[in-house]
Amino acid sequence: MKDRMTPAARMTGHTQRGQCAKRMSILDSAADVFCRQGFAGASIDEIAAVACVSRQTIYNHYREKETLFVAVVEDVMNRANAMLFSVLSTFPERADDLEDELTAFAVRLNKNCICNHDGKFLRKLVQTEGERYPHLFESWRQQGPGKLITALSALFARLAHKGALVIDDFDVAARQFVALGNADLQMMILLGATPTDEELEKAARNAVRTFLKAYGRPEAEQAGHPSQLAAISG
């Protein structure tokens, strides 16, 4: 049904040759199956089939199902955290065009960190298996979402220091920025659906407008986009 990529096609970019190729194919396919079926529902045979690999090869790399699962989660967590900080590094420095820049940033955050494949995987697995593997996801929680909020609040603090924003509690503002960014996408996020670019853009625009209404410097707000209110109603 859903056209699945062959493992060769799946590994884009530099082709790690040798055993590493199989390893990555296994990790990728296992992530896919674990995500769809959960730990209990995923069968090694299905993972092997998706990875185009024999079952023994999997047991060759990973002692047992649980070992594979932990490796998959750690792999996805590392990718997700790397992507998160890559996106964080694009946070707008200058305060000109703050609405547009923050909107573009929110789009990147939602698209590459929250609505993407890895984000869906982690949400699902943290919810379903989080209680069974507390320490496994705890480290992710601290290094991923935890640091996101810390970093975001520091960045907002800089913008506030420059006079572009008026914020009383940076930490709360950071969390609210992320929450507002998800507001229009919550059901899609829950269902694991992928929003279109227009949906992403619109959600981010709505979020940033409200965020700036709450935290923006009053005079800058109206000076920047005088036609704002008129444009929304359409």
Partner DNA sequence: GACGTTTTAGACAATGGCGTCTAATTTTAC
Partner DNA sequence: GTAAAATTAGACGCCATTGTCTAAAACGTC
**Residue 141 interaction partner, one of a second copy, DNA, none, beta carbon < 5-8 Å per kind:** a second copy
224 near a second copy, rule: CB under 8 A: no
Burial zone of 185 (CB within 10 Å; 0-12 exposed, 13-18 middle, 19+ buried): buried
Query: 216 pairs with which residues across the strands?
Result: 165
Site string for DNA, 18-37 (x = CB under 7 A): xx--x---------------
Footprint (CB under 8 A) of a second copy, residues 37-56: 37-41
Rounded Cα gap, residues 69 and 35, in angstroms: 11
**Residue 59 interaction partner, one of DNA, a second copy, none, beta carbon < 5-8 Å per kind:** DNA
Q: Which stretch binds DNA (CB under 7 A): 46-54, 73-81, 147-155, 175-183?
A: 46-54
Do 28 and 7 contact (CB within 8 A), yes or no? Answer: yes
**Residue 124 interaction partner, one of DNA, a second copy, none, beta carbon < 5-8 Å per kind:** a second copy
* Structure-block tokens of residue 163: 């006079």
Radius of gyration of the chain (CA): 21
**Residue 176 interaction partner, one of a second copy, DNA, none, beta carbon < 5-8 Å per kind:** a second copy
* Structure-block tokens of residue 227: 């036609």
64 near DNA, rule: CB under 7 A: yes
Count the site residues for a second copy by CB under 8 A. 42
DSSP 221: H
Do 7 and 52 contact (CB within 8 A), yes or no? Answer: yes
Quick one: which of 5, 82, 154, 232 contacts a second copy (CB under 8 A)?
Answer: 232
Do 37 and 55 contact (CB within 8 A), yes or no? Answer: no
Q: Angle, to 10 degrees, between the axis of helix 65-88 and the axis of helix 44-51? A: 50
Query: Which residues form the interface with DNA (CB under 7 A)?
Result: 17-19, 22, 42-46, 52-57, 59-61, 63-66
Query: Which residues form the interface with a second copy (CB under 8 A)?
Result: 36-41, 123-124, 126-128, 130-131, 141, 145, 168-169, 172-173, 175-176, 178-180, 182-184, 186-187, 190-192, 206-207, 210-211, 213-215, 229, 232-233
